[in-house]
Structure 1
Amino acid sequence: MSERTRDQGSGSWDLEVDVVVLGMGAAGCAAAIEAHESGASVVLLEKLSGGLEGGNTRVSGGAWFRTHDVEGAEAYLNSLSGGYPLPPAVVSTWARETAQLTEWVESALGATTALVGEAVNGKGRGIPSEFPGLEGSDSYGGMVAVDGQLGRARLLNALFAGLETRAIDVRLATPARRLVQDPESRAVTGVLAETPDGGTLRVRARGGVVLATGGFEGNVEMVRDYLRLPQNLPWGSPYNTGDGHKMAQKVGADLWHMDNMMSIEGFAVPGYQSGFYGRFFFSNGFIFVDSLGKRCDDELPSIGHGHALRHGAYEHSPVRRVHAIFDEATRLAGPVSPNGDVLAVGWNVLVEGYEWSADNSVEVDKGWLHKGETLDELAASLEVDPEALHRTVARWNASCEAGEDEQFGRDPDTLVALGDGPYYAFTSAPMLAWTNGGPRRDEHCRVLDPFGDVIDGLYAAGSVSSTYSWARDSGMHIADALAFGRVAGRTASASTQGASS
């Protein structure tokens, strides 16, 4: 058996601890802190260097949802799961653990928290549910965040402070490459990682290894195979490349809901690995057309974090490549890709620090946005049928004049006609906010093989193995990562008891 997979044996390890955590986002930090609080010795390995570490948590809103009704939350998650039911024990654990998060962030991290957007509906509930028609949605009590503010890595910084306060051993620029298994029991006993200087670090995990390595948005092959999208365009970290998925599969893990995701409108530009969010916050004067130049959808459906109400059910949205067409008035109304003052989320906004121009003129000059003085010129730039585009715009403008979108039923209050040229466009990929599927796990975060048996010593939490089999509401992604990160840390720590030294 090769060194990559065999148990290293006593005396051949470079480091021995109770729990090894892979990944430094919300799930990994929570797992490391919880394992430490449970009395375990911990090392956290992160593949990226300082300033890039933290996965999507670094560039997310960093908020978790609030509920004071655990039974209602269970009903809501079951409703959100649609035709893809989750194990009841996972649902119960999720509801119980997520209800404790605000108290944990305040007590364990010493952070100040508050409800986001408390004045939105004047009832102290903050941001309302995105799926109000589903059973259990009345248990949703809005989102809570550090200082009550979204974005700018507030949660991640609080988690990092929690690691530092506890003097938890953190190794940056130390990517895990392989899991080590015992040759007889097949239990995971450690990790082979690469050191910053290119050497090998052999770490024994007496209690187990926690995978918290994020999703696979940055892996073009996995995105094509599992999500059926032709382009891997992440909104968050471009370094989420499915590393944990591959390591788990190598040791026999089963997978669950690998086809689930959150996508948004976004587009690629030269020189940037992640995409720019394409959303018109300042004007409704735009339409989506397909590769034939025909309008193809309601551009503003009832939508909640990647799922839109279409044909009587919640479906993934967006899932197709479209051209977003707009006119001069919309160009001048404000940036088509929001800056941090509007939405402090996304890799290009927070890590790359790009400031989109107020009138989009800089990006037009760079060629990031298509421009045509006439519809014919724009059609040529987009390589669509000019006659079809003319007909599409004429039909749209007639609908706006009539106050009714007879094609797709777009809200009459959002119907804004396109004026005379020049005209502009960007092409949405679409863009991936995150993926949800990964190693199948139970309510204790123990990774399972295809026969439902536990792979001893291996745990998973966060986007590498998200709970959500279908839809999820605002703040549920971070809540899942924190909640099951804590569960994984506790379970792995408990497994240390009785382990040989």
Structure 2
Amino acid sequence: MVLKLLKGLNPTAASNITSFPLTPGVTGDEIKVVKEIGALMDPIPTVMIFDRGAVKPGKEAGEPFEGKMFWLGSQPFLKVNKFGERYTNESVPYDFCVHAASMQPGKVWCSIFDSNWMEDVLKFHTIGCSRVVLPKDNEKHPCNFNTKIIEVMNEKLLKDGYMQQANTIEELAQKLMLPPETLKATITHYNELCEKGEDKDFRKAAFRMRPIAKVPFYGITVGGNLLCTLDGLRINTNMQILDKNMEPIKGLFAVGNDSGGFFAYSYPELTPGVAAGRSMTFGRHVGKYLANL
């Protein structure tokens, strides 16, 4: 039911995701309410999408219930398309790689990394929910996964056939269903850029240019991971839901992802926590408003 709604309202997003982790109770009731009460909804379909939806080799985007969570998908590892060619700067906000992949065959990519991945991830020092820390640092960063948890997640992905492991690039390419010669040439060139400390192809930051050299090598096919939609009901400054004449509907309020007029098309992940922050802020505001009625 929810996927049908998504395909109807936002076919672009539906065709670019490989993972859609639904929580119980998510049935699109808000959209139904819009029709019943004549409320005004955002005209622009908007989603919060991440680069963490792993699928098995050969799979493409558009079947969101086949994917599994690959938390390291947001790390700036080398990313290649189905031709084995690098297609983007990997050091970008979560949704950028997904948007770039929408122009690639199958709308998926492969993240390629080696056995130094843990050291690389710590040096990448990403921000927001993608940041990975050592177990001893979880006290300072309680909201972030630590390397031990990531190891367990990766082992599960390996066991289930999502992540692939090999002792040569050619073997890895075969397991990922990529052209071996092209992937090897791509990685050779990428390693040369890493050694020079300058990404002349896509201008990725030098400190995030890490070579793929230590066996075994790893690869995994990834696509968009849809967390939620953000095109909610239009509201006024008191969080009152508006009708089609922009007049408040008595007794009805909306905050957080159920409210609109804040985002358009995609979630701007340049500032982590904006969605949670506005939910708390607007929730407090409407609480104070109601208390003073």
Length-normalised TM-score, structure 1: 0.44
In 1: Cα distance, 2:119 partner to 2:274 partner = 35
Write the letter of the residue equivalent to 2:4.
E
Write the letter of the residue equivalent to 2:79.
F
Name the structure with the higher helix share.
2
Residue 419 of structure 1, CA deviation: 1.1
Residue 344 of structure 1, CA deviation: 4.8
SS, match of residue 278 in structure 1: helix
In 2: Cα distance, 1:462 partner to 1:474 partner = 15
Partner of 1:291: 82
Q: Residue 330 in 1 paired to residue 124 in 2? A: no
Partner of 1:435: 229
Note if contact 1:442-1:448 (Cα within 8 Å) is conserved in structure 2. yes
In 2: Cα distance, 1:275 partner to 1:234 partner = 10
In 1: Cα distance, 2:186 partner to 2:221 partner = 17
Write the letter of the residue equivalent to 1:446.
Q
Residue 439 of structure 1, CA deviation: 1.1
Residue 423 of structure 1, CA deviation: 1.9
> 1:54-65 residue pairs with structure 2 within 5 A?
none
In 2: Cα distance, 1:345 partner to 1:219 partner = 29
Which stretch shows the higher mean deviation, 258-267 or 394-403? 258-267
Partner of 1:446: 240
Structure 2: state its 5+ residue gaps. Answer: 57-64, 102-107, 123-129
Partner of 1:263: 49
SS, match of residue 199 in structure 2: coil
Q: Quick one: structure 1 residues 337 and 278, their matched pair in 2 at CA, closer, same or farther if it must change by over 3 Å?
A: farther
In 2: Cα distance, 1:232 partner to 1:251 partner = 34
Deviations 1:217-260 (A, max 9, x none): x9433444427233363578565443223323332222226433
Q: Residue 228 in 1 paired to residue 12 in 2? A: yes
Partner of 2:201: 407
SS, match of residue 293 in structure 1: coil
Q: Quick one: structure 1 residues 368 and 238, their matched pair in 2 at CA, closer, same or farther if it must change by over 3 Å?
A: farther
Q: Quick one: structure 1 residues 488 and 273, their matched pair in 2 at CA, closer, same or farther if it must change by over 3 Å?
A: farther
Deviations 1:429-478 (A, max 9, x none): 22234432111111121222333233333221111115532536334322
Name the structure with the higher strand share.
1
In 1: Cα distance, 2:199 partner to 2:178 partner = 23
Partner of 1:60: none
Residue 494 of structure 1, CA deviation: 6.7
Give aligned-pair identity as a percent: 22
Residue 409 of structure 1, CA deviation: 0.4
Residue 386 of structure 1, CA deviation: 2.3
In 2: Cα distance, 1:337 partner to 1:493 partner = 39
Note if contact 2:162-2:221 (Cα within 8 Å) is conserved in structure 1. no
Q: Quick one: structure 1 residues 234 and 257, their matched pair in 2 at CA, closer, same or farther if it must change by over 3 Å?
A: farther
Residue 371 of structure 1, CA deviation: 2.0
Partner of 1:79: none
Note if contact 1:466-1:480 (Cα within 8 Å) is conserved in structure 2. no
In 2: Cα distance, 1:381 partner to 1:318 partner = 23
Q: Quick one: structure 1 residues 274 and 373, their matched pair in 2 at CA, closer, same or farther if it must change by over 3 Å?
A: closer
Write the letter of the residue equivalent to 1:295.
R
Ranked by relative contact order (alpha carbons within 8 Å, sequence separation 6 or more), the top structure is 2
From 267, 281, 290, the equivalent of 1:483 is: 281
In 2: Cα distance, 1:428 partner to 1:454 partner = 43
Note if contact 2:73-2:222 (Cα within 8 Å) is conserved in structure 1. no
In 2: Cα distance, 1:416 partner to 1:276 partner = 20
Write the letter of the residue equivalent to 1:253.
A
In 2: Cα distance, 1:445 partner to 1:431 partner = 29
> 1:194-343 residue pairs with structure 2 within 5 A?
219-224=2-7, 225-226=9-10, 228-229=12-13, 230=15, 231=17, 233-234=19-20, 237=23, 239-256=25-42, 258-268=44-54, 275-279=69-73, 286-301=77-92, 303=93, 306=94, 316=96, 318-319=98-99, 320=101, 321-330=108-117, 338=132, 341=135
Q: Quick one: structure 1 residues 344 and 265, their matched pair in 2 at CA, closer, same or farther if it must change by over 3 Å?
A: farther
Write the letter of the residue equivalent to 1:243.
D
Partner of 1:397: 191
Q: Quick one: structure 1 residues 269 and 295, their matched pair in 2 at CA, closer, same or farther if it must change by over 3 Å?
A: closer
From 354, 370, 380, the equivalent of 2:174 is: 380
Write the letter of the residue equivalent to 2:81.
D
SS, match of residue 399 in structure 1: helix
> 1:76-115 residue pairs with structure 2 within 5 A?
none
Note if contact 1:339-1:356 (Cα within 8 Å) is conserved in structure 2. no
In 1: Cα distance, 2:244 partner to 2:253 partner = 15
Partner of 2:210: 416
Residue 381 of structure 1, CA deviation: 2.5
Report the aligned-residue RMSD: 3.9
Note if contact 2:39-2:233 (Cα within 8 Å) is conserved in structure 1. yes
Partner of 1:146: none
Structure 1: state its 5+ residue gaps. Answer: 1-217, 308-315, 496-501
SS, match of residue 226 in structure 2: strand
SS, match of residue 87 in structure 2: coil
SS, match of residue 116 in structure 2: helix
Q: Which has the larger radius of gyration?
A: 1
Partner of 1:474: 272
In 1: Cα distance, 2:24 partner to 2:224 partner = 15
